[in-house]
Amino acid sequence: MRTASFLAFIVLLATVSFAQGPIHEQLSIDATDAPRNIIHSVVTIPVAPGPTTLVYPKWIPGNHRPTGPIQNLTGIHVKAAGQEIPWQRDLEDMYAFHLQVPAGVKELQVAFDTITYYEKRSLSSTKVLDLVWNQEVLYPQGIGIDDVQITASVRLPEGWKFGTALDVAHQSGNTVEFAPVTLNRLVDSPLIAGLYYRQVQLTPPGEKPVHVIDMVAESPDELEITDKDLASYKQLVAETGKLFGARHYEKYHFLLTLSDETAHHGLEHHESSDNGAAEDMFENPNSHNLEADLLPHEFTHSWNGKYRRPAGLVHLNYQQPMHGDLLWVYEGMTDYWGNILAARTGLRSPEQFRENLAYTAAMLDHRAGRTWRPLQDTATSVQILFAAAPEWQNWRRSADYYPEGYLIWLEVDSIIRRQTAGKKSLDDFCRLFEGGQSGPPKVVTYNFDDVVSALNQVTPYDWAKLLRDRLDSKSPHAPVGGIENDGWKVIYNDKKNVTMEAAEKVGDSLDLSFSLGIIVTKKGEVRDVIPGMPAYAGGLAPGMTIVAVNGRKYSKDVMRAELHLAMQNQKPIALLCENADYYSTYNVDYHGGEKYPHLVRDQAKPDVLSTVVKPLAAGQ
């Protein structure tokens, strides 16, 4: 299997590299209209006379999906020596534009606008911009992304500053030109900009590679990182040094946009990560708790995802489909490290770490869809999962390869520790598999057998069977072996879970997944219902709105009070619901009160979990 996939890769490489030689594009971006959520670009593309096809990036690294926002590409005008050239979109491939290059013409100027709304949120606001280069470029079909050199420049709104891993060639006023890079490197190096900007250093002076956080925000107050957080992020750099033993970049920029106007997200790159978080991340303890693993997660990807990458996620250009089948490693193990490193660096307290893990295990243990859809299929079907509506998510399953990957890698860690009497752990696997030689960005591919082989080098075990069992299982229960091997158990009681409470305070949902089996907004809108749980048995469905609980107008407090009262009697809880234009009362026979998950110690076993989150580097 290893040889076959490697050969396929070489054959494809050969086919494409014969298509066209290296070219050099000029990309000039006018981002001064970012506050109006539109960007203006001109790209100059070398061409030969005759029929030519230009393409817009479709399969986006890190998204693992065909999410290039082609619908946002507007105002297209193609010119050669000042003359307009007609273009035609391909009848099947919406990302391809066909045109005829006249005799004597050596380059085309393509002017276009891109609308910055992306998956419902904008990438810009009146004060900030997240400039994602793959949305601002066209290139000839068939050429490899390492065969396109680009000299990019950007004009920013007056007074805005920026952060990026790209090298600046020169700057004049608010126009910046970057040193030429390949299209691959350009797309891997986003830029954030804003009226309010701050850079903080994480590496001691004179030490290499340099690590910085570049921040932009909606107001200057939000840039006030606390001393404790600054110490944690410095610790994060030190921890990854100890964990991986090598770095595959020459500098690293944490790009952090603190805005509630733009999308909250994270996207990994070799030498930077593009992080969008809540405006109050540094000052609101609940936002802080929920966002604590964001930077650790995206940073981990520099090793796990960018340097070591599943062969099916390496592409020669952005039009080539990707395979998501190993995302339980790419994302699942990164989810594990994001959470473990958040704890090792003090970004989360030990209690916050355990409450988060308890919630993750409980959520997955109440995923009804796991009886029809094995975890493997959630990874394989990444191309369609994110486009799904939130309704019936529990039955459909979501990108569960993230949180369930976390549980599986915790179990793998616990087995390594048990087999080696505590001498080795998943840390050793990471050093072996993701470490290697320090140097500039590069990609080393792997497949399933490579993962198994590296695990066997750490300690012999039937890893292939364990992993396939976990990935192909249709058990109704989540794999909590790691938690249990490490001396803890998941229990439920009426005490609120810290992670769920933070989510309730920051968001607008009341999560009653583990009691009624329902998630409701503060307005009573039913977000999801869990098949097999009481609300489902009573007839509720996502999309309904709960208007009244036992005859009283719905609020979160009323719902909680009635749940409590129902513990004292035998009467079902009557939920008056609006379902489009219809009203019905649904009787839910439930008397267990509120229930939330927690981890408690299993005194029969040693507490290994607390060892797992101990920092490796000195200084904490």
* Contacting positions for Zn ion (CB under 5 A): 331, 334
Compute the least distance from the CB of residue 488 to Zn ion, in Å.
Answer: 26
**Cβ proximity to Zn ion, 134 vs 334, nearer residue:** 334
| Three-class SS state of 267 | strand
Q: Which helix H or strand E contains 149, and what residues bound it? A: strand 148-155
Angle formed at CA 237 by CA 235 and CA 242, multiple of 5 degrees: 90
Please state whether the peptide bond connecting residue 209 to the residue before it is cis, i.e. omega within 30 degrees of 0.
yes
**Cβ proximity to Zn ion, 138 vs 277, nearer residue:** 277
Compute the least distance from the CB of residue 330 to Zn ion, in Å.
Answer: 7
**CA 600 – CA 563 distance, rounded (Å):** 25
**Cβ proximity to Zn ion, 289 vs 334, nearer residue:** 334
Answer yes or no: are the C-beta atoms of 40 and 168 closer than 8 Å. Answer: no
| Three-class SS state of 487 | coil
**CA 235 – CA 231 distance, rounded (Å):** 6
Reading the block at residue 575, the tokens are 């939920």
Compute the least distance from the CB of residue 267 to Zn ion, in Å.
Answer: 8
Compute the least distance from the CB of residue 300 to Zn ion, in Å.
Answer: 8
Compute the least distance from the CB of residue 301 to Zn ion, in Å.
Answer: 6
**Cβ proximity to Zn ion, 331 vs 365, nearer residue:** 331
**Cβ proximity to Zn ion, 249 vs 586, nearer residue:** 249
The residue among 57, 62, 33 whose CA lies nearest residue 43 is: 57
**CA 350 – CA 255 distance, rounded (Å):** 27
- Please report where in the chains the tokens 């770490």 appear, as a residue: 353
Compute the least distance from the CB of residue 421 to Zn ion, in Å.
Answer: 33
Reading the block at residue 38, the tokens are 């539109």
Beta strand pairing call for 38-46 and 87-89: unpaired
**CA 367 – CA 514 distance, rounded (Å):** 11
Compute the least distance from the CB of residue 60 to Zn ion, in Å.
Answer: 13
**CA 389 – CA 285 distance, rounded (Å):** 30
**Cβ proximity to Zn ion, 282 vs 336, nearer residue:** 336
**Cβ proximity to Zn ion, 334 vs 485, nearer residue:** 334
Answer yes or no: are the C-beta atoms of 271 and 252 closer than 8 Å. Answer: yes
**Cβ proximity to Zn ion, 313 vs 588, nearer residue:** 313
Q: Which helix H or strand E contains 24, and what residues bound it? A: strand 23-30
Compute the least distance from the CB of residue 304 to Zn ion, in Å.
Answer: 9
Reading the block at residue 109, the tokens are 């100027």
| Three-class SS state of 212 | strand
**CA 525 – CA 186 distance, rounded (Å):** 43
Compute the least distance from the CB of residue 316 to Zn ion, in Å.
Answer: 22
**CA 618 – CA 235 distance, rounded (Å):** 9
Compute the least distance from the CB of residue 41 to Zn ion, in Å.
Answer: 28
Compute the least distance from the CB of residue 370 to Zn ion, in Å.
Answer: 21
| Three-class SS state of 348 | coil
Answer yes or no: are the C-beta atoms of 219 and 258 closer than 8 Å. Answer: no
| Three-class SS state of 543 | coil
Partners of 107 in beta bridges: 46
**Cβ proximity to Zn ion, 279 vs 331, nearer residue:** 331
The residue among 6, 134, 163 whose CA lies nearest residue 63 is: 134
DSSP label at residue 477: S
DSSP label at residue 221: G
**Cβ proximity to Zn ion, 217 vs 256, nearer residue:** 256
Q: Which helix H or strand E contains 44, and what residues bound it? A: strand 38-46
Compute the least distance from the CB of residue 118 to Zn ion, in Å.
Answer: 17
Compute the least distance from the CB of residue 332 to Zn ion, in Å.
Answer: 9
Beta strand pairing call for 582-588 and 488-493: unpaired
Compute the least distance from the CB of residue 433 to Zn ion, in Å.
Answer: 17
**Cβ proximity to Zn ion, 247 vs 269, nearer residue:** 269
**Cβ proximity to Zn ion, 398 vs 509, nearer residue:** 398
**Cβ proximity to Zn ion, 401 vs 448, nearer residue:** 401
**CA 243 – CA 267 distance, rounded (Å):** 21
**Cβ proximity to Zn ion, 334 vs 376, nearer residue:** 334
| Three-class SS state of 265 | strand
